[in-house]
Structure 1
Amino acid sequence: MPKVLVSDKLSETAVQIFRDRGVEVDYMPDLGKDKEKLADIIGGYDGLAIRSATKVTEKLLAQAGNLKVVGRAGIGVDNVDIPAASKKGVIVMNTPFGNSVTTAEHAIAMMFAVARQLPEASASTHAGKWEKNRFMGVELFNKTLGVIGAGNIGAIVIDRALGLHMKVLAYDPFLSEERAAELGVKKVELDELLGRADFITFHVPLTDKTRNILSREAIAKLKPGVRIINCARGGLVDEEALAEALKDGRIAGAAFDVFAVEPATESPLFNLPNVVVTPHLGASTSEAQENVAIQVAEQMSDYLLTGAVQNALNMPSVTAEEAAVMGPWLKLAGHLGAFVGQATDEPIKAINVLYDGAVAEMNLNALNASVIAGVMKATNPDVNMVSAPVMARERGVQLSTTHQAQSGAFEGYIKLTVVTAERERSIAGTVFSDGKPRFIQIRGINIDAEVGEHMLYTRNRDVPGVIGALGMTLGDQGVNIGNFALGRSGSGGDAIAILYLDEPISAEALAALQQTGKFLQARALRFEV
């Protein structure tokens, strides 16, 4: 009988699910706070069910000799060292959709609160004052709401806002016109949203592309009198610049549930009369906590008893038998998706995948999920093979799959093509006998490139001096090349290079390459190898 430790507070219903399914469970809801005691006993468990209090570190995993799965009741896994878990062969699961409604409702509640100054009015009235004329609010009716991020939670906010008869603008690089029409919103660019919205709410993860998306420069573009709501992630907004704009009246109000540094004991936004703040309560309802607890108990039980994998962040959703054969191909599929996801800036309308030869006989659903997850991780690092297809469908991205018998020199290969309004971008790869994925074609140009964690992709015209400029510029910037692959369409035509680097290439080095005038494109890439 498998044995699970619950080291954070989980509902009794979830604990009972383990027992009913035939899993032995020890419920110790305060153990996660005692790192030493947890490390002493973790070696006796096959599964660990947690919330946010328990920290699953490399040190803890080193003591977890029997551990097979960590289940996080909720979406955030900042408290789990996923690379260390992967090295130990420990699956990490989360429950990505259990608190979507609750988080969306909190954003709507915060919008009401800042529109009508409810917390301030409540405190005044509790103090025995009757300042009816002091608190003059605004209606939500007929106002324009700007939604930044129209994924799962953003779509729920949009639905609620339309029910309030608000006009809704949406900015999301992956939102298609068709999906926008289905949601009932107008798809716009960020600058237009900033200049037109009366209220702005964020529903995006914190990535390199979204960090400080509401910067000091962006704040200067806002419509005067706008109100800002952030129940998504701290770090999306320049809090110092926002505080200045609130003080001078350019922004009428703000409502924040998340902060750049948490727990937030101080912030430029604190103690401002036109700001509503809460301590990261987006998922804090009894219904949401019950939902994620039940889901994690069911997922962990399924894995421990049958080998089924759901909502795993570091393993495909396939059986153990399939994983042994498909593992390298699943990794290749993810790498192909990651390449085009990082190389494509405009919204993706369609993903087309061709499976040739031996790979065409495998579990194509899992392979498709790995491709999509690779593509979507460029903008959402929290996505996994289960949530990625859902996210793609929500954004109206069409998926098509073709499979065929072996048609070339390789025993099997995968070719991925993404379609945007502007262009198509394709890449193909295979798995060699050593089990390592390789890129074999980019933009229709044949190439043989190993995949490394840090890579550089360049495109240029096939003229003399390019390779020399590439090597000399990278050398001057202190960039060491581990491997170098070249390809071209023909003499004088298009040429590409893909380099395997020892370290991430800096923005300064990329700028130096562009300044040579020899490259049509130079882009840094990163892969999970």
Structure 2
Amino acid sequence: MAPRVLISDSLSPTAVDIFKSRGIDVTFEPGLGKDKEKLLSMIGDYDGLAIRSATKATEKLIAAADNLKVIGRAGIGVDNVDIPAATSRGIIVMNTPFGNSITTAEHAISMMLACARQIPAADNSTQAGKWEKSKFMGVEVTGKTLGLIGCGNIGSIVADRAIGLKMRVVAYDPFLTEERAIELGVDKVELDELLARADFITLHVPKTDKTANILSADAITKMKKGVRIINCARGGLVDENALRAALDSGHVAGAAMDVFAEEPATDNVLFGAPNLVCTPHLGAATTEAQENVALQVAEQMADFLTTGAVTNALNSPSISAEEAPRLAPFVKLAELVGSFAGQLTETAIEEITIEYAGDIAELNTQALSSAALAGVLRPLLSTVNVVSAPAMAKERGIALEETKRGQEGAYETYMRLTVTTERQKRSVAGTVFADGKPRLIQIKGINMEGEFGEHMLYVTNNDKPGFIGRLGTLLGTENINIATFNLGRAEKGDDAIALVQVDEPVSDDVLGKIEALENVVQAKRLSF
């Protein structure tokens, strides 16, 4: 029986043609995504679901998808897909991370220019029969400073176009190295410096815990008077209430918004603000981009449903059917080791070295290294996957080096990942035990064994008496239950590490209390 694919959003007809040419039975109902109940009643009959942004692949929908094997998102953002729910049901989630980069970058430049010259307002006035030439005094972009928050694939294209407009470009991106910044012709800065220097600020980051409201009320007060803000990335990166107040006061001279915290944005606090330009999430809305992402998602889904090939999956590495059973536990290890290192990294990464020893060195280490890279990058780049991770690392000037060797030390096989940043080197090593579960075996050169848990605390401290008791007492006082408690130290009285698995996330308040404990050097909250 031929695989069946449902297209529930407005995808280019190109996608339909590709599916049919590959022998796949395709149902094209572009408005179905808005009818949640009808979609819910139909989804159980299909092997694949191809969507854009209108369809919400929620936990409820996925639970009803008894035959679903793959969800393909034509575009980069997957905010509308419950990836953990899909993963738990064994459903591959794919996206097309590079299909609309140029289109989105061009829209950001267009919005910047429209905001600088008040074009929409001037157009409305002129077509209403007015001739208010003196009312619409704009500003030039030539010689002005553009601040990029995020300098990855789209951000780097915006930088190139802005430099062509004779603008100075400064960029804040924790993963951008000095070498890559020089290559792009941008000045790498910290966020506060960008806020202080920029005449225009444009955002090109995904929405994560670290980037949500990155342009907060406090951040806006640090900007120079007369700044203009452009957001064609994701809603929720800008505090809309704070931006409205700043537009009303004149501190922010203008804003151009393509995305909003709640969409569709039929009512928003920003509407009616002075010098505001709005578009309805048009960043990827060009004929060329829609053709590109439609073709890519259809090809990827067809390949998976007909041959089992996995491309651009956010929850599965690219692994052939033959090697999957042996490789799978080590892929999980690589992702977890990478995530552990990534969550502890706060400054620009210059190099990642991955050492494979023993049996693991004989496996498909390319898939393992991609999984590890995705783990490292994901805390700040939520849309990264095991296929796009190497390209995203290269864009940011991050060097990757692999080494392989035979069995050494107490463990038959292990991998060690070392992250080199502008400030330090940090290594994390792990292995897979006979039960198939990944384990940590070394952190920063300190031997210790520990399991990965959903909620964890990583604490470095001076090895002095009383520390363990103080930490345990504090967690008990805060009603936080300890699942596991693993310790390691370099030497007696020297650097020590406590790795604590807890039953629920640790709040900022509790984390602050841990940091204030005697002899604590650093405390981090980790999640896996």
Asked if these proteins are the same fold (TM beyond 0.5), I'd say yes
Post-superposition offset of 1:262? 2.0
Residue in structure 2 matched with residue 28 of structure 1 by the alignment: 29
Post-superposition offset of 1:386? 1.4
CA distance in structure 2 between the partners assigned to 1:229 and 1:36 by the alignment: 36
Residue in structure 2 matched with residue 82 of structure 1 by the alignment: 83
CA distance in structure 2 between the partners assigned to 1:56 and 1:174 by the alignment: 30
CA distance in structure 2 between the partners assigned to 1:476 and 1:373 by the alignment: 37
Q: Is residue 266 of structure 1 aligned with residue 267 of structure 2?
A: yes
* 2:333–2:438 contact (8 Å) kept in structure 1: yes
Task: Give the aligned residue type for 1:303.
Answer: F
Post-superposition offset of 1:394? 0.8
* 1:107–1:229 contact (8 Å) kept in structure 2: yes
Residue in structure 2 matched with residue 135 of structure 1 by the alignment: 136
Listed as ranges, the gaps of 5+ residues in structure 1 are none
Residue in structure 2 matched with residue 520 of structure 1 by the alignment: 521
Post-superposition offset of 1:30? 2.6
Post-superposition offset of 1:11? 1.5
Note closer, same or farther for the CA distance 1:505–1:118 as it changes in structure 2 (3 Å cut).
same
Q: Any residues of structure 2 matched to 1:325-364 within 5 Å, and which? A: 325-364=326-365
Post-superposition offset of 1:412? 0.9
Note closer, same or farther for the CA distance 1:39–1:507 as it changes in structure 2 (3 Å cut).
same
CA distance in structure 1 between the partners assigned to 2:255 and 2:45 by the alignment: 48
Q: Is residue 168 of structure 1 aligned with residue 182 of structure 2?
A: no
Residue in structure 1 matched with residue 182 of structure 2 by the alignment: 181
Task: Give the aligned residue type for 1:44.
Answer: D
* 2:511–2:523 contact (8 Å) kept in structure 1: yes
Q: Is residue 432 of structure 1 aligned with residue 421 of structure 2?
A: no
Q: Is residue 6 of structure 1 aligned with residue 7 of structure 2?
A: yes
With 56-65 and 444-453 compared, the bigger mean Cα shift is at 56-65
Note closer, same or farther for the CA distance 1:251–1:42 as it changes in structure 2 (3 Å cut).
closer
Residue in structure 2 matched with residue 223 of structure 1 by the alignment: 224
* 1:104–1:156 contact (8 Å) kept in structure 2: yes
Post-superposition offset of 1:295? 0.5
What TM-score results when the alignment is normalised by the length of structure 1?
Answer: 0.97
Residue in structure 1 matched with residue 493 of structure 2 by the alignment: 492
Residue in structure 1 matched with residue 284 of structure 2 by the alignment: 283
SS of corresponding position for 1:358: helix
Q: Is residue 370 of structure 1 aligned with residue 378 of structure 2?
A: no
Task: Give the aligned residue type for 2:284.
Answer: A
Q: Any residues of structure 2 matched to 1:207-222 within 5 Å, and which? A: 207-222=208-223
Deviation by residue 1:69-95 (Cα, 9 ceiling, x = unmatched): 111111222222211211111111111
Q: Is residue 123 of structure 1 aligned with residue 117 of structure 2?
A: no
Post-superposition offset of 1:488? 1.1
Residue in structure 2 matched with residue 305 of structure 1 by the alignment: 306
CA distance in structure 1 between the partners assigned to 2:22 and 2:11 by the alignment: 17
SS of corresponding position for 1:36: helix
Post-superposition offset of 1:261? 2.1
Task: Give the aligned residue type for 1:508.
Answer: D
CA distance in structure 1 between the partners assigned to 2:84 and 2:498 by the alignment: 29
Residue in structure 2 matched with residue 402 of structure 1 by the alignment: 403
Listed as ranges, the gaps of 5+ residues in structure 2 are none
Residue in structure 2 matched with residue 51 of structure 1 by the alignment: 52
* 1:120–1:273 contact (8 Å) kept in structure 2: no
SS of corresponding position for 2:430: strand
CA distance in structure 1 between the partners assigned to 2:459 and 2:42 by the alignment: 51
Deviation by residue 1:202-233 (Cα, 9 ceiling, x = unmatched): 11111222122222222122112111111111
Deviation by residue 1:377-432 (Cα, 9 ceiling, x = unmatched): 11122211112211111110000000111112222100000001211000100000
SS of corresponding position for 1:351: strand
SS of corresponding position for 2:10: coil
Note closer, same or farther for the CA distance 1:217–1:57 as it changes in structure 2 (3 Å cut).
closer
CA distance in structure 1 between the partners assigned to 2:146 and 2:496 by the alignment: 46
Kindly, what percent of the aligned residue pairs are identical?
63
CA distance in structure 2 between the partners assigned to 1:382 and 1:501 by the alignment: 27
Task: Give the aligned residue type for 1:405.
Answer: G
Post-superposition offset of 1:32? 2.5
SS of corresponding position for 2:336: helix
Note closer, same or farther for the CA distance 1:369–1:52 as it changes in structure 2 (3 Å cut).
same
CA distance in structure 2 between the partners assigned to 1:73 and 1:458 by the alignment: 41
Task: Give the aligned residue type for 2:363.
Answer: M
CA distance in structure 2 between the partners assigned to 1:121 and 1:49 by the alignment: 40
Residue in structure 1 matched with residue 204 of structure 2 by the alignment: 203
Note closer, same or farther for the CA distance 1:173–1:279 as it changes in structure 2 (3 Å cut).
same
SS of corresponding position for 1:174: coil
Post-superposition offset of 1:52? 2.1
Deviation by residue 1:344-367 (Cα, 9 ceiling, x = unmatched): 111111000000111111111111
With 49-58 and 117-126 compared, the bigger mean Cα shift is at 49-58
CA distance in structure 1 between the partners assigned to 2:515 and 2:60 by the alignment: 43
Post-superposition offset of 1:288? 1.1
Q: Is residue 510 of structure 1 aligned with residue 511 of structure 2?
A: yes
SS of corresponding position for 2:250: coil
Post-superposition offset of 1:243? 1.8
* 1:146–1:193 contact (8 Å) kept in structure 2: yes
What TM-score results when the alignment is normalised by the length of structure 2?
Answer: 0.97
- RMSD of the TM alignment (CA)? 1.3
CA distance in structure 2 between the partners assigned to 1:183 and 1:443 by the alignment: 33
Residue in structure 2 matched with residue 242 of structure 1 by the alignment: 243
Residue in structure 2 matched with residue 256 of structure 1 by the alignment: 257
* 2:147–2:201 contact (8 Å) kept in structure 1: yes
CA distance in structure 2 between the partners assigned to 1:247 and 1:34 by the alignment: 39
Post-superposition offset of 1:154? 0.3
SS of corresponding position for 2:458: strand
Post-superposition offset of 1:265? 2.6
SS of corresponding position for 1:520: strand
Note closer, same or farther for the CA distance 1:161–1:75 as it changes in structure 2 (3 Å cut).
same
**Residues paired across the two proteins, number:** 527
Residue in structure 2 matched with residue 469 of structure 1 by the alignment: 470
With 274-283 and 113-122 compared, the bigger mean Cα shift is at 274-283
CA distance in structure 2 between the partners assigned to 1:307 and 1:86 by the alignment: 16
